[in-house]
Structure formats: structure tokens, C-alpha cells
A and B are shown apart, each in its own frame.
Chain A
Amino acid sequence: MPELMDPSMPSGLNLVWLVLLLPLAGFLFQAAFGKAIERAFGKSTGRRILGFMAVLPIAAAFVIGCILVSHIANQPENARVAISTWFDWINLQSIHIPFELRVDPLSLTMVLIITGIGALIHLYATGYMADDKDYPRFFTYLNLFIAFMLMLVLGNNLALVFIGWEGVGLCSYLLIGFWYEDIENAKAANKAFIVNRIGDWGMALGMFLIAVVFASSQTLLGGETRYLSFDVILPLAQQVVGEWGGAVVWAIPLLLFIGAVGKSAQFPLYLWLPDAMAGPTPVSALIHAATMVTAGVYLVTRCHVFFEMSAFAMGTVAVIGCFTAIFAATIAWGQYDIKKVLAYSTVSQLGFMFLACGVGAFSTGMFHVTTHAFFKALLFLGAGAVIYAMAHNQDLRNYGGLRKYMKITYGSMLMGWLAICGIPIWAGFWSKDDILGKVFASNEYWHSQGWAINPVILWAIGLATAVLTAAYMTRMFWLTFFSGEERWRNLPEPAHVHHHAQHHEHDDHHDHGHDEHGFFIEYVDEHEDGQDHDHHDLGPSHEPNEVKPAMWFPLVVLAVLSTFGGLILSGGYPVTEVFGAHTTNLFKEWNAVSAQPTVLPAKEMFKVSHSTEAVLILLSIAAGLLGILWNRARYKKGIPQNEDTKLRRLAGSQWGYDNAMVKTFVDIGGKFSDAFYKIFDKGVIDTLFVNGIPWVVASTGKLIRKTQSGFVRAYAMAILIGALAIASYIFYSISR
């Protein structure tokens, strides 16, 4: 029995509970007192208090996370895992699932990303949402999200991960539908939850399979019934699953991967993520770019030993990731909505992460999770600032020349843009280049394992994706900040339009007197008017301004991280290696204990010569530059004439995929279900059998005796008695 609970671990690690409970307390505080504080202190002071109280627990959790990291980092590598158990959640004779948290480098990496970036985005949101009528509700959901996300990464068993997994899905649902008065937003929220549930279905089945496989190997487990706890299953996985053999070996990772595909928006379940942009932009940055959508990568990395045992499962992960990367990149190239460009770009980048995991470079995948969190959060928040300055208009065709008006936003987004394009020294370069290098390097190994597609092909597709990524990001960046003309000035002066139907008509008639239940139910006599804040639109007279400090400060911090974060964390790897210099790859060493492959020969499989490495690096830089130069030239003078081509429109419509899915499952499925209800449930079962039998009896009765009581019930009674007689006879004859 591998005993990883080391009693000599510093007791300070129990602080981990505080990391989880602080955001939860924040959530409860906002939920319970949010509205009251807003009322008691007035809107502006009240919101300042609430905003502070929303950021505080997340920032505090970040500080505690840092303390935990310093505790753990002092330990020798194999002692960097600790488990803290609180109480029994499900404790049956047949399965034991305690409430237990796991502190190890992988979970702490995620904790720092979630709380660090989370605190910044909370701060940003205090500015972005300042005028929203549901300010407290927003932070209630946002704090709850952080709590669930921490549950997801800290849980020491799959069931606790599943609490977080579905919990973040819930918060995502609530936040996408935050402006629910527009029914389209509510529908987008539903889509996100339901598509995610399909993934959860796979993950749940994976959990069940793991539980029964381990439970049926009691000789190896020696009486342990925590069949889902990582400290039990991960060390024993090779032995238990290996001895089972057969379909179990690939079924476990693939079922878990279905969950990851749903949560991390991979093909074919990515459909929900573009629609999720209906939520407020801080939500898109936090949930749909930096944290929640990377949960799938976390799950694969956490359970990597299960994946490693099956070359087929690894291949599936790599191919799905690679295909999603290029597929989403082409779609992003066809978008005009600034948030949609970023959404598809996120899908594409997540594909890169899975590609890395699929070839066995889990640590590199997690590294891309980290750098992507920096620059994608930055890009989303920057886009939010632009949207905010442009009166909530999100169409790239209405922007242009904004760098003059929003200098800080422009400057920080510049860093994010360079990072995602993969230009050295910015963060994205280090992780993306490392991924592509690892894919290329693993060619020989996976070829020998019988993959149908050679990693070299995946590498080539990845490189093409890098070109495309740089291209569409440049397109977005130029159309927003450069391209000469200020296109919103060409728009006609807008008529006064309401975005959301927020105005209530005064309802004069109240009929208390007529209501028989008036004693119990009061009706509203008068209505507070919906606080419709000035929705001005773009037009010739619009003047964009730089956003307030609460919003640009996080941008600057993230810009610094996007610029230097990758270099510092990777220590210059793999560039330094080419030059023969030996620097510490901080990230890789830190994560080694949880992300290092255990089954695969990690040391041998990624072997590649220095000269090849150098060529690979140059190629990936070239890919970024190519994309930039191509689209800079194209959009230098505004939108070219041939912009709206058929091909772009087709790509922009997700190559028709979303439409086909909606047609099949929503339209046809809905019609079929409706018809099924009317014909089968109401028709066949209910009318034919349930009501039909009494009717037959009644009619026969009429023919025979012409009785007059038209009550169906009387005839039904006759059947009852008849049935009773027949049954009695049968039982009488058998029991004699």
C-alpha cells in the first residue's frame, strides 16, 4: 500500500483548506449581504465595499498559495505530495470517498493561476461591471466560480474533481446567462451546460470504470476502499490496469478524455465556447480562456498514467488536439466579432495543449496552460477595454485607429499579441515552440508504437496553425488599433435603441379585491423603473477613451507576465540547449513529480539533435513572422475590398458544423420528440390501451346489455373484476 501521507510534512499545509474556503466565504458574503450593502451605503460606496470584498478573498488565497508553494518547494522532489482529509463525504462499505485535498506541484500551479489571474480579473471586473444593475450578483457568481475551480484542482479524488467540474460548469452557465433578459444569452448558457454534460457523461463513466476495476483487484489494494482517490489509484494504475488488459486499458483514458473534450472545448464538443462569449467580458477572460477551459488539460495531466498505458488513447488525444487547433484557427480567421476571434483562438490554443499531452509532453502542455493564461486573459481583458470604450460594440469593422485613444490598452495588448504570435522573447513563444519541438521529436517513438498518423504530420499541421494564429491575431490587432481610418465615424448617427428590454410599463390596474387569495399574496403596486444606463451607440460623434485604473492596472500586470513570464519560467529552454548552455527549466522541474511520464520512456522518446532543434526553433519563429507580415500588409489600409469572400464566410460559419448539429439535435430531435409524445405516449399507450380497453368493454357491454350508465369507470370496474377472476383462477390452479 503506497502511503503518501507523510506525517513529517509541515503542518502549514493545512492552510490549503483556507485557499478553498476563502472564495467560498466571499461567495456567501456577496450572496447574503450584497444587496443589503448596496442599499445601505448607496450605490457608489456600496459597490466599492463589495468590489473590495470580492477581490480580497481571492487575493488572500493567492498569498496562501504562494506560502504553500514555498513550503513544498523546500521538500525533496518525491515528498512534494501531501493529502489533507477533512470528513467523509460518501462512506459506504463498497466505496469510500472522503473530502480530501491534495497539495502537490500540479495542483499548486493551477491554484496560483486561478487565484492570481482570478484576483486580477476580479479587480478588472469592479471597473467593467461598475454600472451594471446586478453588480452583487455578478461577484456572487464569480467568487463561487473560483471556489469550485479550486475544488477541481485540489480534490484528491475524482469525485471531488467532479464536484468542481460540474460546479464550474454551473457558474459558467450562470455567468454566460448573466444578462438573461436577452433570451439569446440564456440559450447560449443552456448550450454550454448541456454540451458540457455530454462530456461529463463520459467522465462519470470513466470514474465508474476506474472504481470497479480497482475494486475487483482487492489483492493489490489490500482492503483500501478509496477507489477514486489519486493517492490510491495513480501509483497502482500500471499494475491494476495492466493486469486487466483488454479494452479497460484504452477505455479508461478515452472516457476521461471525453470529459476533457467537453470542458476544454475540443472538437466535436467545442460548440458551446463561441456562444459562451455572450457573458460579460471578464467572465470570458477568467472562465472561458484562463482557467475553466484548461481543466481538461489538468485532468489529462493529473491522470496521465492512465493515458500513457494506451498508445491508442494517446494518439486520439494528439489527433483531436491537433485537428481542433487548425480547425478553430481557420474559423477564427473568418470572424468579425472581436470576442469570437479570441474564443476560437482559445479553442485552437487548447488544441495545442492536448497535442502536447498526446505525445507525452504533459509538463509542456501545462506550461502552455500557464503562458496561455497570461496572454489570453490579457487579450480578453484588453478586448473588454476596447468594447467598453466602444459602447459595447464588438464588430472589428467598426473599430480602427484606436491606439491614439487608448494608449495603455494598446501597449499591453501589443504584448499579448506578440505573445500569442509566438515571437521571442514573449511568453507564448516558449511554450508553443516547446510543444512543436516535442511533437517533432517524438516521431520515432510513436511511429514504433504503431500510430496511424506520424507525429511529423501533426507537427506540420501545428506549424501551419502557428502561421494562421499569427495571421488572424494580426488581422484583429490591426483592424482594432491601426488601419488608418476610424471606421465608427462612418456609421450613421444612431437612433435611440434599447439593447435589453428593461423598461417596464407602468401597470395601473391592480385587482386586489378580486383576488380570492389576496390575503396571502401581495401584488406589486408600483414599479421601480429599470435603471437603464445610458446606452449610447457608435457614430460620428463617438469619442473612445482610455479605461479607468481598476481596469488598466490588471492589463499592465498581465502584459508584464506575458512578456517575461515564459522566459523566466522556462529558463530559456529549449533555445539555451541549442547553444549548449544549461539553465534551469523552473517550470518543468517544479512540476516533474506530478507531470513527468511514468510509463513512457520520457528521457529517450524526445531525443533530437541540437541542429534539428535549432531548425525547429527557427521554423516556429518564421511561422509567427510570416503570419504577422502577411496580414499586416493586408490590413494596413483598412478592410480590403475582397474581405467578405465565400471562403471566409464558410469558415466563419464553422464550416457549417454548428448549423448541422443544431439542425440535427435541436430541430429534428425536438420535432421527433414532440411527435413521439403525441403519437406514442398520448396516442398508443394512453388512448389505445389505457382508455381503449375500457372503451372496448363499454362498447361490448352496450351491445350485449344496452346498459345506460355512460360512465367509463363502471365498465372499467368490469375489467378489473374480469382480470381478478382470471388471475385468481391461474393462481388457484398453481397453488393447489
Chain B
Amino acid sequence: MNTLAQTTTQGMGLLSLMIFIPLIGAAILALIPREYASWHRYLALVCSVVTLIASISVWYFFSGNTYHFQFVESIPWIKSWGITYKLGIDGISLWLVLLTTFITVIAIWFSFYVKERAKDFMISVLVLETAMLGVFCALDLILFYVFFEATLIPMYILILVWGGKNRQYASAKFFLYTFLGSIFMLVAIVAIRNMAGTFDLILLQDLASRGELAVGNVQLLLFAAFALAFAVKVPMFPVHTWLPDAHTEAPTAGSIILAAVMLKMGAYGFLRFCLPLFPEATVQAAPFMMGLAVVGIIYGAIMAAVQTDWKRLVAYSSVSHLGFVMLGIFALNHNGITGGVLQSINHGISTGALFLMVGMIYERTHSRLFKDYSGLKRQMPMFAMLFLIIMLSSVGLPSMNGFIGEFLAMLGAFQAGFEGAVPLWMPIAAGAGVVLAAVYLLWMYQKVFYGPNDKPAIKRLRDIKPWEQASVWLLVVFIFWAGLYPTFFTQKMEASINAVRHQTLLPPGERPTWANKEIDINRNGDIVEALERDGDDLGSWTQGRVLVQNSHYRQKEEMKAVASR
């Protein structure tokens, strides 16, 4: 760790430590003989909890007063190719890191069910956690790509070995589909290297901020290559069909992680790479991407409504919910992007919890088909009550987490429509997704929990046990926390969201760059030059001279002037 510490600008290599704790844990697990099954379980749980604690300490020391990357560490990796091992997080990746570590704890906790080859299972999940954390921390394109693809392998193994009946097909489809998408990104990365001479995101964005990275059709092509990789991951319509199969066949822990974290890697990719590096192309493509998002919202919801398989329904609901994420991001305003990021986190919690609970019942009945259920509420009242809360958070009931993200994303989309950036029918149509969400989720609840309790298979079930309840209660606490006090999350997020927006929308030369540490963004979203500092940290600046004034909304006079022209 010493070398890491010397090259870090701050934070003492905490990120590396956090990323590799699970991998070290996996290595230790590998050394413990198969017979000690409970050792594997508890050790894996301990590892994930330690990682969670590490990520919480990152959050604790993270400053919301700056948009710059914090905890940056950089060491040359393959010098001849210019590849560096460079890590750092900002206000967007911070929350995704926390989501990852939190969800992994839940997934491992719940995986105590797994009897068959528990050791290999735990090792796969831990390796997967390392790869996912790497994705959210990497600041070098190649490093990012390596982590991005590295997530595929453990997930592929999880589906192939512990999956359902159709696991062969699902795992191959999952792997090839997402791999085919990201292969174009690799080519684009190499092309960027040829043009700019570096893989370093910070340097590349510095070029882009001056409009010197790529222009015109080349930029559009690069954007398309990155976008394809991320769109498959999200997944956006029409490249979503890997998801229902993968979700349905994956073991419960796999489904939870897939839904909660791996889909977010796509949304994160857009925010981290597409927007800052290809700003003109982003603006050009935004209406198209929003259109796809709206189609995805409605399409996913309609598809969810006709499913007869419990897990498949939840999987299609993800297509719909992730549409809101993309809708918000490509609205390209503060409301929208904040909503998109919040929706990412909240979808992770809600849908993760849905998969968790479906997993609980699946472990008992070994059926995912609605026709095998009826009147479960009478049989398992506690389970039904908890499921109701989770279901409602997914429906987007205000005061629960699901509402906040959808509300802000749709507000942002509406704002974009009102200001003329996209057609106004898009946000209006997106609203139909909220209605349809009630349709398919309430139907699901009705089919399973309501009606007479007359299915022999469920009549002998007991309610869920305290340790199972505890894992859901943890998520329920989060649901209300995020629903009633989202300010807690947005406080450390807004500066980075402003930065991404400014990097995309401002003309070259005015865009804030990650390379110049003297530039920062204040509480109004203005770009400022830091004049006074209250310490050495990036977030310690107190006084600044405003360089670019910010307005979160286009003003009426401006819009009317545009309209009259």
C-alpha cells in the first residue's frame, strides 16, 4: 500500500483498499477447504461488511463542496501504452459505490440459503464486488474497460452454475449480448488513444473542455460506440432482451446485484464518459436518447404487465424504471440529472428488495409462476406487509424513495420539453409509465397475495424468519430515509452534477475541467475561481470569483426571444 499512498493526492489509497478487500477475502476463502461451509458464509459476510465500512468512511471524508475527483490515486500501469492505474470518485460515483457495498452485504446475507458449492458462490460474489467497485472508481479508460468486462465473468458463472432451468441459454446470452456491446467501446477507446495520446479521463476531458478532443461526425461516432455499450447495459429499448432471461435464471443474489448495481454501470457510463467527453454529440443525440427512454418506459411496463412469471415481471419493470434514469440524464438539466442519479440508487434498493423477497418465497415453493400462488397474505402476513412496502416504493408512492427519482427525472424532462430542447410529448408520455407501473405491480400483488388461500403448496408455509425480516427491514429503513430526506443524498451530489451539465452544455473554453483544481462550482451552480482556501482539501475553498453565471432554468425573456425569431 505504500506506493499507492505516495502517489495519491489525498485519501491514503482508501479507494484501492476498499476495492480490493473483497478480492483479498475471496483469496482467503479459496484457501479454506470446502467442508467449512459456514466459515465461507460468515467470512464472506464479514468481508462485505468491512468493505461497506470502508465505503462509509470514504463518504465521511468526502467533501460535497467541490466537483473534482477526490481520493485520487495514480500509478503507471503499462507505461509503454500509457495506461495508468488511476482511481477517484466524485459526487455521482460516491453514491453508486455505497449502493454497491450495501447491496452486496444484503446479497451475501441472503445467500446463506445457497447450499450447493457455497464456497464458489461466495468467491464469485466477492470477485464481482471488486470489479463493480472498480468500475465506479476507475478514471482511466482501459482500467474502466477492464473492470467493466471483469464484472461479466463472475456474473456469468453465477448464472451458469446456480441458475434456473434455462441457465445455459441465459448465461450465454447475457455474456455475448453485453460483450458485443462493449467491444465497440473498446475500439472507440483505442481510437481516442490514437487521437489524443492518453487514456486518462481527466486529461481527455481537459481536451474536450476546449473542444479539442474530437469534432463533428467523429465525435458522434465515438459517442455512438460508447452509447451502445452503455445502452445494452442499462438496458435501453431495443437492446434489452438479455435482461429478462438473465434476471429470471440468475440465483437470487445474482438477480439482486444485477438489478441493483450492474444496470447502473450503464447509466454511470453515460454520465462519466459520454457527457463530458462528447458534449456536442450528447446534445445532438439527447432527443433521440430521450425518445428511446420513453419508449423503454412504456414498452417495459406493458411487457411487465403480461408476464406470468414473477421474476420476469420484475425484470421487465427494470426496463421501465431504468427508462426514467435515462430520461433524466438526457434532459441535461439539474433536476433531470439529479433525478436520474437518485432513481439509479432508488431503483437499486427497490428492485433489489423485490428480487430479494421473490427469492425468499422461491426458496420455499420453487415456483415463480403466479398460477401457483393465491392468498399468500393470510398465510404469511409479515412477508405480505413488507412486500407491500417494497412494491409501493417501486410504484413510486410519494414519501418513499421511488417517488423522488421519478419525480425529479420527469420534472427535468418536462423542463427540457418546456424549454424546447425536446418535444413536449416525451415527458407527457413518460408519465404513462407511472400509471402502468401501478397496473403491473398491483396485479402482481393481487395475483400472489390476494384471493382465497387455497393452494396446497403454500398452505404449509410459515412466515419469514427474523433474520430474513431483518434484511428487508434494512431496506425499508432506507426506502423511507431516501423518500423523506433525499436532501441527505443530494448534498454531496450537486456539485458534480453541475459539473457534468456544464461540461456538456457550455461552449468550449467555458467548460469546467477536472484538470484545473483552482476552478470549482458554488452552491448556485456558478463556475468560480477559488480565491481563498481554508485548508489543503479540494473542498476547502470558501471565497470564489464567479467566472460563468449559472441559471438552472431558461428565463422567460430568453425563451420568448427564441420563439419570436
Contacts and interface: CB of A to CB of B under 8 A. Distances in A.
A170 B398 CA distance: 11
Given A170-B392, A677-B303, A727-B184, A197 B454 contact: no
Interface of B: 112-113, 115, 172-173, 176-177, 179-180, 183-184, 186-188, 190-192, 194-195, 218, 221, 225, 238, 241-242, 302-303, 305-307, 333-335, 338, 363-364, 375, 377-379, 392, 397-399, 404, 407-408, 410-411, 414-415, 418-419, 427-428, 431-432, 434-435, 438-439, 442-443, 446, 449-454, 456, 459-462, 465, 484-487, 490, 494, 498, 523-525, 551-556, 559
Contact of A180 (B335, B451, B559): B451
Contacts of B428: 205
Contact of A190 (B186, B379, B443, B484): B443
Interface residues of A, number: 89
B459 A92 contact: no
B176 A713 contact: yes
Interface string A156-191: 000100110111001001000100111101110110
Most buried by A among B375, B397, B443, B487: B487
Contacts of A163: 398-399
Contacts of B335: 92, 94-95
A329 to B, nearest CB: 29
10 contacts: A92-B335, A92-B408, A94-B552, A165-B398, A204-B407, A204-B434, A208-B411, A209-B414, A216-B556, A728-B190
Contacts of B397: 166-167, 170
B434 A197 contact: yes
Q: DSSP majority for the B interface?
A: helix
B41 to A, nearest CB: 12
A734 B218 contact: yes
Given A90-B490, A183-B451, A510-B460, 8 more contacts: A186-B446, A194-B438, A216-B556, A517-B113, A524-B379, A677-B302, A677-B306, A719-B180
Contacts of B177: 690
Contact of B115 (A91, A517, A527, A735): A517
A218 B555 contact: yes
Contacts of A734: 191, 218, 221
B392 A215 contact: no
A203 to B, nearest CB: 10
Contacts of B112: 520
A709 B235 CA distance: 31
A647 interface: no
B552 A215 contact: yes
A209 B184 contact: no
Contact of A93 (B183, B192, B465, B523): B523
B465 A520 contact: yes
B489 to A, nearest CB: 10
A194 B418 contact: no
A91 B450 contact: no
A217 B176 CA distance: 51
Given A181-B378, A211-B411, A90 B183 contact: no
B411 A95 contact: yes
A646 interface: no
Nearest to A177: B450
Contact of B484 (A89, A165, A712, A719): A89
Nearest to A199: B435
A693 B375 CA distance: 44
Contacts of B523: 93
A244 interface: yes
Contact of A673 (B172, B306, B432, B454): B306
B408 to A, nearest CB: 8
A602 interface: no
Contacts of A167: 397-399
Contacts of A181: 375, 378, 450-453
The 3 closest A-B pairs by CB, nearest first: A186-B450, A731-B191, A501-B452
A430 B353 CA distance: 54
A643 interface: no
Contact of B414 (A180, A189, A212, A507): A212
Contacts of A91: 487, 490
A196 to B, nearest CB: 9
Contacts of B218: 734-735
Nearest to B427: A208
Interface of A: 87-95, 159, 162-163, 165-167, 170, 173, 177, 180-183, 185-187, 189-190, 193-194, 197-198, 200-201, 204-205, 207-209, 211-213, 215-219, 243-244, 500-501, 504-505, 507, 510, 516-517, 520-525, 527, 670, 673-674, 676-677, 681, 685-686, 690, 694, 712-713, 716-717, 719-720, 723-724, 727-728, 730-732, 734-736
Contacts, number: 243
B415 A724 contact: no
B319 to A, nearest CB: 10
Contacts of B410: 204, 208
A691 to B, nearest CB: 8
A718 to B, nearest CB: 11
Contacts of B379: 524
Nearest to A174: B388
A218 B183 CA distance: 47
A90 B452 contact: no
Contacts of B555: 216-219
B136 to A, nearest CB: 23
Contact of A92 (B378, B439, B494): B494
Given A521-B363, A673-B305, A194 B439 contact: yes
Nearest to A35: B381
A510 to B, nearest CB: 6
Nearest to B240: A685
Contacts of A517: 113, 115, 363-364
B214 to A, nearest CB: 9
A501 B552 CA distance: 58
A243 B559 CA distance: 13
A180 B192 CA distance: 60
Nearest to B398: A163
A723 B494 contact: no
A735 B176 contact: no
Given A504-B459, A524-B459, A728-B187, A190 B446 contact: yes
Contacts of B435: 194, 197-198, 200-201
Contacts of A731: 187-188, 190-191, 194, 221, 225
Most buried by B among A182, A198, A686, A735: A735
Contacts of A525: 460
A720 B398 contact: no
A517 B453 CA distance: 23
A521 B411 contact: no
B241 A690 contact: yes
Nearest to B432: A201
Given A88-B487, A516-B115, A686-B241, A716 B452 contact: no
B524 A93 contact: yes
A167 B302 CA distance: 25
B350 to A, nearest CB: 16
A720 B375 CA distance: 48
Contacts of A720: 176, 179-180, 183
A80 to B, nearest CB: 28
Contacts of B442: 173, 189-190, 193-194
A524 B221 contact: no
A533 to B, nearest CB: 16
A508 to B, nearest CB: 10
Nearest to B334: A94
Contact of B525 (A93, A177, A215, A505): A93
Contact of A522 (B306, B404, B462): B462
A681 B241 contact: yes
B184 to A, nearest CB: 5
A727 B225 contact: yes
Given A201-B435, A523-B462, A681-B303, A244 B414 contact: no
A501 B500 CA distance: 58
Contacts of A94: 333-335, 338, 552-553
